[in-house]
Amino acid sequence: MAWRLIADEAPARGARNMAVDHALLDSVQEGGQPVLRLYRWRPACLSFGRNQHVIDTYDRNRIAAAGIDVVRRPTGGLAVLHHHELTYCVLAPLAVTGGPRTTYKRINEALLFAIRALGVDAWLAGGTGSVSRSPRSSIEPCFQAPASGEIMADGRKLVGSAQRCERGVLLQHGSLLLDGSQDLVRELLIEAAVPDAADGPGAATLRDLTGSVPDWEKLCDVVVSGFADVSGTRFAPARLTHHEIERADRLESQYVDEAWTWRR
């Protein structure tokens, strides 16, 4: 069975991107085809993990003054600044993917294949479990330190990912950093919450590693080829259905709502 490939042509706001991912999750839960979605963000957006505690650690005034959107993701993990990146979203039944850990491993292997095709000497972080973190790590940027199995280059984290499993379907999305810096994430913390020192090596970007960033179409082609070559999956270009657009329109109000974004 071919998967749907949805490669957005234009960037979207954070709340819209999360609403579309959520709408696609609903579609797959209702028996729809698995999906690989590739997309971008505009304006820059700070996203929080579904259960991340942020209400007394991130400064709303600083975020607003920086002209940055803010949204809470439906998946877990820590804070990410989405700006110059390729974001992927995989939605598939657990029966198809082989479970959360297997899926996580296969997705990272597919992305590693793609990144190496772009000329980057990348590898997967070692270890058998999650990376050990300090008690304050819940306020660190996602890209500050790698977890086991995440993609590294030049000793730094290049791709960060997060999952959610619900009603037998897995949603995993993550960020391949193309340019820019994740340092601003720390600058948006309430001053009293800023850690004294970094816990890890920080983030790498494709421009850091190769000196350039391919155009969007080439990036999408390379990533899709990575997934196809590693998993043997066929992808059929597709668009959101009318029903999915209507559902995303309704869900967007949740992701815009500060009661959701700042709920904990």
Residue 131: predicted pLDDT: 39
Residues marked as catalytic: 142
Q: What is the pLDDT of residue 137?
A: 57
What is the topology classification, in CATH, of domain 3-261? BirA Bifunctional Protein; domain 2 (3.30.930)
Residue 2's pLDDT is: 92
Ordered by start, the domain boundaries in the chain are 3-261
Q: What is this structure's pTM? A: 0.93
Q: How far is CA 256 from CA 71, 92, 236, in A?
A: 7, 26, 31
Please report the pLDDT score of residue 193 as a whole number: 65
Counting as low any pLDDT under 50, the low residues of the chain are 128-136
pLDDT at 93: 96
pLDDT at 141: 72
* Residue 128 confidence (pLDDT): 39
Q: Extract the tokens encoding 18.
A: 């999360």
